[in-house]
Structure 1
Amino acid sequence: APAAPAAPAGSRRPRPRRSLLVRLRPVLVFGVALSGMFATGVRTYHAVPGEVLYPLKRVAESTVLVLAYDEKDRAEREMAAARLRAAETASLIGEAAPDRRRLIAQTLDDMETKTRAALTRVALRGHADGEARRFARQQRKVVEPLLPKLDGENRDKATQYLRYIDTFTASGR
């Protein structure tokens, strides 16, 4: 059998050209992964109590609270969390979940806890600033219309919450 001709010294064999799909595969994989992470983040942000991603939303929220750089910033972040709880309560009212009452009760409790923490921080600074008053008005606009739609125990919680924010803003603390 004749021997294959030896390649001249210093020359390389031409590499076969890879297909476009093979060359773009890393970019496509990265794009799909990035899109998946973005979609999960958006879904987590809009999660409500009882959904699978809701605990992740609360962990992220807790992290944001811990990262507050001063008392005023912490109060503002707690007010934002309380606003979210009010919106979540409103969205739970229309749900047909079997544990809806329990989820609403937990959400109302969390809303009250965040509100008390935020308004206590404002009071420690010596006054109810405009942001706290706006917050109380916004919360009233969201929570008050929910009262007729809530069961007895949750209606009582929401009513007590409204009394608390009214007392705070009326006292001018």
Structure 2
Amino acid sequence: MIQTYEQLVAEGYLIAKPNSGFYVAVSLPEQYLTTEQVVPSAEFGDDNTPNNGLFSPGVAELASFPMSAWNRLLQRHSSRSALLGNQDLQGLVTLREALHRYLTGSRSVVCHPNQIIVTSGAQQSIAIALLATQKLKPHRGFLVEFPGYRQVVKVLDTFNIDYDT
């Protein structure tokens, strides 16, 4: 409970007054009150995906990526032989435990590390969810938002699952 209050104070939603208690902040933190003016720079194709690679899966924004920190951490951890062998299909146990602590502590999600599946990206997550759904309720079709995340359609087509837009 204390961590929750400390988090809300750190984010500016609460004010802590010693020997008095916690109070709701009169105004929201400045970062939530203003936005930058965004000028659209990408042109989109027929399937609502950017033509120039922006916001495309697997395309990183490298200009602000902390490359030196990434390389340092990659060098340090890639030499750990435990990471190279067969792993739990749900993902590395220590990572799932860390995610569990984070979700429980900062997001109030009631879960167990065994309920967490670490995937390599959105498409794998969608595929797992769809396969599980089809296992529980076979021959059930899906509605897919259009325009929307078009990779969903690719996953549905791959598994020959009926859908409508």
Q: Greater strand percent: which structure?
A: 2
If the TM-score is normalised by the length of the shorter chain, which range does it land in? under 0.3
Greater Rg over alpha carbons, structure: 1
**Greater RCO (Cα-Cα under 8 Å, separation 6 or more):** 1
Task: Give the TM-score taking structure 1 as reference length.
Answer: 0.23
Larger helix fraction of residues: 1
Question: TM-score, length-normalised on structure 2?
Answer: 0.24
